[in-house]
Structure 1
């Protein structure tokens, strides 16, 4: 690499930040190994959430120190110095001969000296393997003195071992690079065939539909010819019938006139002379059987195959054959709730079972509600081979969802979709058996997405399947009044209890007690929430104006008290880590208070009342990824959603028993609410 960089083919783009398009200034390396200016990254992180690499779109998780915590790309800094030297600059005020610059090893002279952050005058010369940190000579005497806890080794030795490891990785990269390059060539080959394939398919489709159009035109001509022929034949027959009837009419009319003249104008002699003849003629005509009825009936065109029938079958009139194997396509129907946008997910797969792209017009979806009325559906491609089918049902009950790919029904179509109202699921009933609940108060979601409930009546935690509501397991908990519950990043349960034998207890996933935390600052803990880094916030209720929220280290030691002297009756607590906002319900004040983790009060909202946006002894509280705040009322059982600033958005409903306690958000976007008097947990859809 050094020789390439030292050659006349030196590439300026290698030293250019992809954000500002200027030479790097204090380049920082992301985990995906792309580098950017420190200031550019800081601006980028302020604009984009969640954070992604500007080049490869790989998700980025910054260290606690933010952009400043990222490693500096000293290699790029060295290249910048080298480039400056070639252009006549003096980055280190060190004279370098032209021959050195031209030599392959000249690059090695342009390494900026790295000094210790603590001992500024000393260069970094050692690597403490125990601490995984580069240190200077002074550090090896003070903070990293050789011992069982520290093992400083010369940087060159460690770097050589690291280079050997990287060299091995380089050898592994070559075959993988060839594989990827071959894949690019194969894609290029397919791209080159794309337009000819399109043209061929277009010609075939046009020819096919021209044939169909010709067949329809031919059939139309045949039908029109039949109509003309039938019209002529019927006209001839009707004309013959008309002539026969007119002949009879003429005879009878003539006899009528003769008879009338004889009666009115004939002498007696004349009447006697012709009377018998006239009588015989008229009687003959009157008794003669004449067919006065015509056999003709109006003819009409008959749709043997109706337009509606053709419309149903028109999708079968040709199609685009792709790599999608319809027999392998799958549809996942998600739980549906009346009045909300609901989705089903279609996966289009090849015959090899791989995700396979097809054009959007090849995917069709339709839905009918229980009465047979059409429900509007939309199909949207989410990514290669993954499709979102969305609809908004207006009634509950069984709906039918039909899904076709390339005019063929996907296996299982039409699918039954059971549309429910809120709550979509009720878990448990009063009792002490498996699946039964007694005074559920705290609720949380474990690492598997299932619902864990603290039962104050049965003094246990019971875990339920979030989809079916079936009890999965339970375990007893200590303390007189178990109350709050949360789950840490390792899947362990944290359960509070107040009253006699109060404390904060940590249980393994299976229910075995790990430890009990009871620092001196704690008294009658209620709600609890645990942060991703293991810190905990516990609602502390010693009484009077001492009520507060305790921010604790993972070992239970106190970091600070929050809200002391401001809270009257705090109950449950939640932390929106994306905004670093602590939310705590105050049942006595009928409010929700928001603090930052430094203890500063940010805002509060709510007042006592039964109207939308008002609170009646609020208990449970949580927030969703968008920052919306969900609050349950112990006083009247209402569950409401508020915007991140506390303005009212919607009411979800009123829980069974009218006494809502803890709330939790499931991974698929449902709100689980503990119903104290209803002895159950209800799941609500809200977005």
Structure 2
């Protein structure tokens, strides 16, 4: 199966280097990226700090959402509220664009397992909040007030079992798309937990041409296709069975290869990708998404 390349020079807009904008007490690499309601870029790094840039790469502000918090995922709703996972307090917090926390709620914990909160996404249609717990290998569907509705990816199901979920997105049909890193795929569910399909970056099951190895970072583009980062590059695949690859944003086997993808976010026709590679400078890359 041939993968259509996208000219990197024509799709890449700019590179943001966030490292110098964290406070002196902060040294962690970015773990997620999100656009606020005005199209500015928010970056978190598993601490209490959030930094903000505009789409021209200019630094706008840095704010704290409260000492001892550990923010690992962000999602902005249509009202401008920013939902975040706090893995330290095991909570979801909601704040305005200046970092003022307006409310929070605890995430229900399975008594038999530890908890590691990662990505989250908020539905503008229902207000439901989907939170990834990577240690329990589940996605929790919660009301906006924190009431547990159901779980997705429950262990021991033949299809749809999650092993190492990390990032999450919703499509226009309210299907829930979850990176399952160690299974090299994206798992797709209905809100009630029913398994729909898996996206593996291949056209047929069992083929060796599977590009979504170590899938990390995900966003649904306006045309319904899915942007997914992996160890093999940054790809766009169809949101259908097996997830055949349509194109890639980076240049294979060149200095423009996209590696170490963390969060991916979209705003209109712009896509932001957080990259974090061991022993290399972390960046936020902006692309024309589609």
User: Same fold per TM (> 0.5)?
Assistant: yes
Of residues 637, 645, 660, the one that matches 2:184 is 637
Specify the alignment match of 1:686 in structure 2: 239
Specify the alignment match of 1:588 in structure 2: 135
1:604 and 2:145 correspond: no
1:510 and 2:56 correspond: yes
Matched residue of 2:16: which SS?
strand
Task: Name the CA shift for 1:473/1:653 in 2 (closer, same or farther; >3 Å).
Answer: same
CA contact (8 A) 1:488 1:532 kept: no
Deviations 1:564-605 (A, max 9, x none): 452711110101110111111111011000111122221112
Task: Name the CA shift for 1:672/1:425 in 2 (closer, same or farther; >3 Å).
Answer: farther
CA contact (8 A) 1:427 1:681 kept: no
CA contact (8 A) 2:141 2:148 kept: yes
Specify the alignment match of 2:172 in structure 1: 625
Alignment RMSD (CA, Å): 2.5
What is the rounded CA distance, in whole Å, between the counterparts of 2:80 and 2:68 in structure 1?
Answer: 18
What is the rounded CA distance, in whole Å, between the counterparts of 1:496 and 1:586 in structure 2?
Answer: 18
CA contact (8 A) 1:425 1:684 kept: no
CA contact (8 A) 1:581 1:597 kept: yes
CA contact (8 A) 1:562 1:595 kept: no
Per-residue deviation, 1:609 = 6.1
Of residues 484, 488, 492, the one that matches 2:40 is 492
Specify the alignment match of 1:473 in structure 2: 14
Higher relative contact order (CA 8 A, sep 6+): 2
Per-residue deviation, 1:608 = 3.8
What is the rounded CA distance, in whole Å, between the counterparts of 2:4 and 2:29 in structure 1?
Answer: 27
Of residues 514, 530, 534, the one that matches 2:80 is 534
Per-residue deviation, 1:488 = 2.0
Of residues 24, 31, 47, the one that matches 1:483 is 31
Unaligned runs of 5+ in 2: 23-27, 202-209, 241-290
Matches within 5 A, 1:17-32: none
Matched residue of 1:498: which SS?
coil
Higher fraction of strand? 2
Matches within 5 A, 1:78-117: none
What is the rounded CA distance, in whole Å, between the counterparts of 2:77 and 2:4 in structure 1?
Answer: 28
Deviations 1:151-198 (A, max 9, x none): xxxxxxxxxxxxxxxxxxxxxxxxxxxxxxxxxxxxxxxxxxxxxxxx
Matched residue of 2:216: which SS?
strand
Deviations 1:272-296 (A, max 9, x none): xxxxxxxxxxxxxxxxxxxxxxxxx
Matches within 5 A, 1:291-306: none
Deviations 1:21-57 (A, max 9, x none): xxxxxxxxxxxxxxxxxxxxxxxxxxxxxxxxxxxxx
Per-residue deviation, 1:622 = 0.9
Specify the alignment match of 1:658 in structure 2: 213
Specify the alignment match of 2:196 in structure 1: 649
CA contact (8 A) 1:531 1:575 kept: yes
Matched residue of 1:572: which SS?
strand
What is the rounded CA distance, in whole Å, between the counterparts of 2:133 and 2:4 in structure 1?
Answer: 28
Matched residue of 1:635: which SS?
helix
What is the rounded CA distance, in whole Å, between the counterparts of 2:43 and 2:4 in structure 1?
Answer: 25
Of residues 100, 105, 117, the one that matches 1:570 is 117
Deviations 1:476-502 (A, max 9, x none): 113521011111232111111125xx5
Scaled by the length of structure 1, what TM-score is found? 0.30
Deviations 1:600-639 (A, max 9, x none): 2211121346953110111111111211111111222211
Task: Name the CA shift for 1:427/1:663 in 2 (closer, same or farther; >3 Å).
Answer: farther
Matched residue of 2:169: which SS?
strand
What is the rounded CA distance, in whole Å, between the counterparts of 1:686 and 1:673 in structure 2?
Answer: 11
1:547 and 2:93 correspond: no
Task: Name the CA shift for 1:426/1:636 in 2 (closer, same or farther; >3 Å).
Answer: farther
Number of matched residues? 221
Deviations 1:72-91 (A, max 9, x none): xxxxxxxxxxxxxxxxxxxx
Matched residue of 2:125: which SS?
coil
Matches within 5 A, 1:420-499: 470-478=11-19, 479=22, 480-498=28-46
Per-residue deviation, 1:506 = 1.3
Unaligned runs of 5+ in 1: 1-395, 397-419, 429-434, 436-463
What is the rounded CA distance, in whole Å, between the counterparts of 1:608 and 1:425 in structure 2?
Answer: 36
Deviations 1:455-510 (A, max 9, x none): xxxxxxxxx86xxxx322111113521011111232111111125xx511111111
Matches within 5 A, 1:189-200: none
Deviations 1:432-476 (A, max 9, x none): xxx5xxxxxxxxxxxxxxxxxxxxxxxxxxxx86xxxx3221111
Per-residue deviation, 1:649 = 0.8
Task: Name the CA shift for 1:566/1:551 in 2 (closer, same or farther; >3 Å).
Answer: farther
Deviations 1:330-353 (A, max 9, x none): xxxxxxxxxxxxxxxxxxxxxxxx
Specify the alignment match of 2:162 in structure 1: 615
